[in-house]
Amino acid sequence: MDRLRLLLVSTPVGPLGSGLGGGVELTLLNLGQELRRRGHDVTILAPAGSVLGDLPVVGVSGPLQPTAHTQGRDTPIVLHQDGVLGRMWDTARQHQDAYDLIVNFAYDWLPFYLTPFFQTPVAHFVTMGSLSDAMDGAVRQVADQFPGRLGAYTRTQAETFGCGAAFKILSSAIDLSCYQFCPTPGQAVAWLGRISPEKALEDALAATEMAQIPLKILGKLEDEAYWQSLGQRFPQAADSYLGFLPTQALQAIVGQCRALVMTPRWVEAFGNVAIEALACGVPVIAYDRGGPAEIVRSGTTGWLVPPDDIAALAEALTRIEALDRVACRQQAETEYSLPALGDRFEAWFQAMLGTSPPMAEPRP
């Protein structure tokens, strides 16, 4: 594939490296590094203060965008008049001639709406499932006007928008060299993720209490009130919390665990934490919902249990020894390596640029 000049535009909810961007931070880091390794020219456009490995980042200042994942279906579009979201996309507009392709990673209305306003093709990697009617409308507009310009982590996630066939399914990946296989775990199981209601940490606390298995909690403490309420119900929660750790420290702790417990209350678009665990040889016990349901091979690299069924989760925790830690690492190497990710994204870019549709006229 010939060398592309790529602009990857980040989430406006926080600087890269703050953890506020959740899984999309890891996706951007891994994708950016892999595309550059393949010889493409990669530039990241992100809120001021962003750091992403050694990738070149253009920082844009301005008030951050409120997060979408805690809002309801009828939430109206919110846009600061001089916010970082508008300013990032004005920067992209000004410099678009320097790029062959612009890929948006923000889960926000504006970049989808602006797609026909750009001469340089704009593609969208959608990082969450359907959350609001306004965003669904923006996504469907691009599906209609620019077929082929939508990417997603998983089929389940894409289907939540009602136009799943319009998406290229790209899955995710991690740098496997950062994760060590651990054949002999200790007693505890792990829970990883943003501590926020839609991740339902309470179910993991309840199930491990029932199964009498120690739990290690890691991740960004995003919703303080929610954490306090958990502490009231589960006194052991505070001692189980090990903080938001960089990958090296995180994988050392997770690798020692017998399993990762995933309790998504919402349709998790992917669940990077699942492939981080698999890379360490750690099986995943998860609700049969969203991304984790497309990752876990139930019975081999984990168990899928009926969603929101805490008793089933506790029961699955008693069957961890039946799972195969070597198979977990092998699945990560086959499906979730950086070369596999690079192949999928290059195929998507080729499909868009090789036969990019004529510039559609914006609807009157």
Contacts with ligand HBI by CB under 6 A lie at 11-13, 21-24, 65, 67-69, 106-108, 127-128
- In the complex with ligand HBI, the residue whose CB is nearer, 107 or 179, is 107
- In the complex with ligand HBI, the residue whose CB is nearer, 87 or 258, is 87
Please state the closest distance from residue 229 (CB atom) to ligand HBI, in A. Answer: 21
Please state the closest distance from residue 49 (CB atom) to ligand HBI, in A. Answer: 16
Nearest residue to ligand HBI, scored by beta-carbon proximity: 22
Please state the closest distance from residue 27 (CB atom) to ligand HBI, in A. Answer: 8
Please state the closest distance from residue 89 (CB atom) to ligand HBI, in A. Answer: 13
Please state the closest distance from residue 52 (CB atom) to ligand HBI, in A. Answer: 15
Burial classification of residue 342, based on how many CB atoms lie within 10 Å of its CB (0-12 exposed, 13-18 middle, 19 or more buried): buried
